[in-house]
Structure 1
Amino acid sequence: MTPQLLAGKRGVIFGALDEQSIAWSIAEVCAAMGAKFTLTNAPVALRFGQLNTLAERLGATIIPADATSIGDMEKLFQQSEEILGGKIDFVLHAIGMSLNVRKKNEYTNLNHDWMLKTFDISAVSFHKMCQVLYKGDHMAEWGSILGLTYIAAQRTFPDYSEMAESKALLESFARSFGYHFAEKNKVRVNTISQSPTMTTAGQGVKGFDKFFGYADTMSPLGNAPALDCANYCATLFSDLTRYVTMQNLFHDGGFSSMGMNPKLIQE
């Protein structure tokens, strides 16, 4: 029987696209643990994804919203409060997109207009989201805001391109807003740095399959699956982690602490 760790909690989950999405697994786990939430994604993503299937199965309402639009964010959280019947206990930001990565532009030859768009979608949207939550007083006391990130924010992974800078900016926004939310109403703000995961977006990175295998071998526990990431997120949405804030938390099977794994040499 699944523990009802999130019974009575209200949330908003960004970024579920299809069954390969980490946000999809997080939504399933949160529902199983007793949470009620709304689901949101950009209108263009809704046209190409499978979010309706997830919403119908979990009994969740979909609210289309462009995370780069302050107006859309305001409507999203106002409507979510009305639908869920109260202030929001948890929010998941699982958004990232780079046209440069999709078009396989080398880091030394990026389209800078696309780079700015990458930053806006993948990182500045987190600040806009937090700002709307903060100014609108939408978060319940001791609530939890969480963003998904990657270790490329701290280390160089050439094919990850300017998404690395996006994740570094995202993590900085989480730390900075973490202070302000703690002062306002004890809301925690954290990021989770997840293992490479076979998502639709992840597989768009050049050489992802080979790197996935490398990370799996380097990590003493192997790559962390999406479902385990979802369970970890649930603990951070729960009351068991009330004093964890302004942290970047690695959920990567130990990859972030390794220098070299002898298994790589043996292979």
Structure 2
Amino acid sequence: MAYNLLKGKRGIIFGALNADSIAWKVAQRAFEEGATFTLTNTGVAMRMGETAQLAEACNTIAIEADATSVEDLENLFKQSMEALGGKIDFVLHSIGMSPNVRKGRHYSDLDYSYLSKTLDVSAVSFHKVLQVARKMDAINQWGSVVALSYVAAQRTFYGYNDMADAKALLESIARSFGYIYGRERNVRINTISQSPTLTTAGSGVKGMDKLMDFSERMAPLGNATGDECADYCISLFSDLTKKVTMQNLFHDGGFSSMGMSMRALTQYEKGLGCDCECGNDEPCGEHIFD
């Protein structure tokens, strides 16, 4: 059901690759709620993905831009304001990528050139988006910027690797820039810490299926889906949340407040002992840090 929450608002949505992307679902909901917006992704992602089809369905355009390039971002905001007929009211940053994860590098053996790429794409790009927008005065008063994060920014999750560092930096940028943009122009900046969600990027995390099962058993309300995350984003883009800023907002069914649930404990008890070929009751050397 649509409520016209974004009627008359203009936006930019980063990262809609295919129907599994949270950004894709946000775009669909924003369109239903009356917003006009542009879509953007890298050239490679646009060629590999289905962004053009989404743009057609939402009666808009897709603009190629590398979010790590200041020049590309300047062009993106310029083209978007021209196409939409004015300044921007909302921005979604849904970008994340780790070459270390893709290459199977362990966190204790990172390739630092890969780490730099992880941080630039997944976090520093958020600062670049905000800095370019501010210098161009591209976002309206009471505009809203949202970036997608994960609880691994606060807690250690095996297999999440250097993406945890990137998410921690992302959330820090939201707070630091949120103060500046809020005082100057009433622009609010928040991050959403979403449940593990099976997107194209998320599927690269080691043990993603087990992580999703664990969080489902832990969270009182179960995992939040991508569609439900889209609904939450819409509320943050709307005027109903005008005084919410500099927050990391957990959208995870209560997972982030849990210590142990009965469902998770019951499953844990079923798996006590080592289940590998060594047959030991205690973790063997191969698994000691898993």
Shorter chain as denominator, the TM-score bin is over 0.9
Distance 1:23 1:171 in 2: 18
Percent identity, please: 59
Aligned equivalent of 2:87: 87
3-state SS of 1:63 partner = strand
Distance 2:53 2:217 in 1: 35
CA contact 1:107–1:158 (8 Å) conserved in 2: no
Distance 1:195 1:213 in 2: 11
Aligned equivalent of 2:70: 70
Aligned equivalent of 1:18: 18
Q: How does 1:171-210 map to 2 (within 5 A)?
A: 171-210=171-210
Distance 1:210 1:162 in 2: 19
Which letter does structure 1 place at the counterpart of 2:266? Q
Measured after TM superposition, the shift of residue 26 of structure 1 is 0.3
Aligned equivalent of 1:124: 124
Measured after TM superposition, the shift of residue 60 of structure 1 is 1.4
Distance 1:263 1:205 in 2: 24
Measured after TM superposition, the shift of residue 158 of structure 1 is 2.2
Q: Quote the RMSD (CA, aligned, Å).
A: 0.6
Per-residue CA distance 1:202-221 (angstroms, 9 max, x = gap): 11111111111111110110
Distance 2:93 2:254 in 1: 23
3-state SS of 1:157 partner = coil
Which letter does structure 2 place at the counterpart of 1:62? A
Distance 1:265 1:259 in 2: 10
Aligned equivalent of 2:160: 160
Aligned equivalent of 1:169: 169
Aligned equivalent of 2:8: 8
Measured after TM superposition, the shift of residue 266 of structure 1 is 2.1
Which letter does structure 2 place at the counterpart of 1:186? N
Distance 2:2 2:89 in 1: 20
Distance 1:203 1:61 in 2: 28
3-state SS of 1:190 partner = strand
Aligned length: 267
CA contact 1:196–1:223 (8 Å) conserved in 2: yes
3-state SS of 2:168 partner = helix
Distance 1:100 1:188 in 2: 32
Per-residue CA distance 1:131-178 (angstroms, 9 max, x = gap): 000111000000001100000000001200000000000000000000
Measured after TM superposition, the shift of residue 44 of structure 1 is 1.0
Measured after TM superposition, the shift of residue 265 of structure 1 is 1.9
Which letter does structure 2 place at the counterpart of 1:52? A
Per-residue CA distance 1:166-192 (angstroms, 9 max, x = gap): 000000000000011111110000000
Measured after TM superposition, the shift of residue 33 of structure 1 is 0.4
Structure number with higher relative contact order (C-alpha < 8 Å, ≥ 6 residues apart) = 1
CA contact 1:89–1:142 (8 Å) conserved in 2: yes
Is structure 2 residue 206 aligned with structure 1 residue 245? Answer: no
Measured after TM superposition, the shift of residue 85 of structure 1 is 0.4
Which letter does structure 2 place at the counterpart of 1:177? F
Measured after TM superposition, the shift of residue 237 of structure 1 is 0.2
Unaligned runs of 5+ in 2: 268-290
Aligned equivalent of 2:213: 213
Distance 1:197 1:207 in 2: 12
Distance 1:203 1:114 in 2: 19
Distance 1:82 1:47 in 2: 24
Unaligned runs of 5+ in 1: none
3-state SS of 1:180 partner = helix
Which letter does structure 1 place at the counterpart of 2:167? K
3-state SS of 1:224 partner = coil
Aligned equivalent of 2:106: 106
Distance 2:7 2:172 in 1: 31
Per-residue CA distance 1:66-103 (angstroms, 9 max, x = gap): 00000000000011001000100000000000011011
Taking structure 1 as the reference length, what is the TM-score of the superposition?
0.99
3-state SS of 2:206 partner = coil
Is structure 2 residue 136 aligned with structure 1 residue 136? Answer: yes
Measured after TM superposition, the shift of residue 53 of structure 1 is 1.1
Show structure 1 runs of 4+ deviating over 3 A. Answer: none
